[in-house]
Amino acid sequence: MSEPPSSSEVNKPLLDKLVYHEGCPGCYVDRKKELQTGLPVKEMFCIWIVALSVALPISSLFPFLYFMIRDFNIAEEEDISYYAGYVGSAYMIGRVLTSVFWGVIADRYGRKPVFIIGTLTVVIFNTLFGFSVNYWMAIITRFLLGFLNGILGPIKAYAIELFREEHHALGLSSISTAWGVGLIVGPALGGFLAQPAEKYPSLVSPDSLFGRFPYSLPCLCISIFALFVTIGVFWLPETLHFHKTNELESASNIPDHAEETTDENKDSSWISLLKNWPLMSSIIVYCVFSLHDMAYTEIFSLWAVSPKSLGGLNYTTEDVGTVLSITGVGLLLFQTALYPIAERMLGPIMVTRISGVLTIPLLTSYPYIAMLSGFMLFFTLSCASIVKSILTVSIITGTFMLQNKAVDQHQRGTANGIAMTLMSTCKAIGPACGGALLSWSQKRQNAAFLPGDQMIFFILNVVEGVAVLLTFKPFLITNHY
């Protein structure tokens, strides 16, 4: 009678699909995935934290940017939104210039070095931004924050590589959720912690450090969080394959005989990506949605704190922070529990289309929400903000899925770098155009056609409508869904 199998043999996969190389971190992760059972909660949390540390500073300035520009004394009140838009765009302009570079670095030297440099960049330059003493210092520190931060491209590749295929939606959803929560919690922190000497005079003296630099406290809190994340990144597993020749290799997507890929082929791989229409079409759709998203994020905070005479809500930064805090909780619950189910039932393309279509009537209602007052205004605005954030993050997750399924592992860092470059270009345009268009819209309160803020939300809906149309064939082509 044969002996019963040992426990190690029971846990061993029935069919070894891969050839594992000793000492290769990517092979170690692949082997671990083969034996993995249940939901990868720990891995999802790690990715979520890293992405959140980068997303938090992106829009944390929006609630107080109006007041910061006003304190710099460089513009009249009706032109403040115009100048604020360029500060918001500086981060994205910096990211445009280096996203492909950081993607190539991630494909050649690994994902972790890029993560460490990116989180350290947040620690240094986000802190300096909070201590800005003039307009140009604010512009330069925001630019460098984007220029040296290349995490958001490679981390999408990392999520695909760290999870089994059935959990890819969950992994990418954790990134887009962190992104969405960061774009909400960041402004909430800015709203609650900016100008502490005015809001909490019993705790903060006007002559103290935070009294003299009224916008440094929220930036410092985010930087401290990023410092702890930087330390934690050292314990993350590397997912890139390093084999005997110390070259970057993909053991999960190519056969053994293809492992001898030459440096020449790898160096030119980014050119082949530009010819990959399933990838490029999904990136273009992602970019148009991102243009809308960033413009909306800038416009929402500026619109909320604008005076009633200009069509705004006359909210304080604390009011905006409260609304966005509620929004963050609702978004986190939906994306963690419901998005993977929706993606399995409908697929990422259909989820993206439905979310885009529902966004249009929602934004149309915003100028009418402004006509409310008191608790009714706060409640309705909070509900609308929750729904808008859920729709936005669902769109982002869907486009992430399409991009990362269109390429193999050894190209994912570069592919996401290209996506980040083009997306950052759109997001650099978004705040600048959003601020300028909001300033223009608020000057036409008595216009016959779409007066005041109705015009700015109409323009946002036009961009959203174009993005939805681009999700259909023949423009969007994919071999996977």
Query: In whole angstroms, what separates CA 478 from the centre of its chain?
Result: 23
DSSP-assigned beta bridge partners for residue 249: 241
> What CATH class is the domain 37-469?
mainly alpha
Any alpha helices (H) in 268-307, and if so which ranges?
269-274, 277-305
From 346, 353, 427, select the one nearest 391 (Cα to Cα): 353
pLDDT of residue 267: 44
Per-block mean pLDDT, blocks of 10 residues, the chain (481 long): 46 49 76 75 86 85 75 72 76 84 86 93 94 90 91 84 78 77 77 84 87 90 95 89 53 39 47 81 87 82 80 78 71 64 79 91 89 87 85 82 75 76 77 77 81 86 92 78 51
Cβ neighbours around 156 below 10 Å, total: 26
pLDDT of residue 256: 40
pLDDT of residue 466: 93
- Exposed (0-12), middle (13-18) or buried (19+): which is 389, by Cβ within 10 Å? buried
Q: Got the DSSP string for 309-365?
A: GGTS----HHHHHHHHHHHHHHHHHHHHHTHHHHHHHH-HHHHHHHHHHHHHHHHHT
pLDDT of residue 329: 66
Q: What share of the chain is helix, strand, coil (3-state, %, to 5)?
A: 75, 0, 25
Domain boundaries, the chain: 37-469
pLDDT of residue 113: 92
pLDDT of residue 335: 60
| Total-model pTM | 0.68
pLDDT of residue 227: 96
Q: Which pair of structure tokens corresponds to residue 69?
A: 């520009």
Q: What does the radius of gyration of the chain's CA atoms come to, in whole angstroms?
A: 23
pLDDT of residue 395: 86
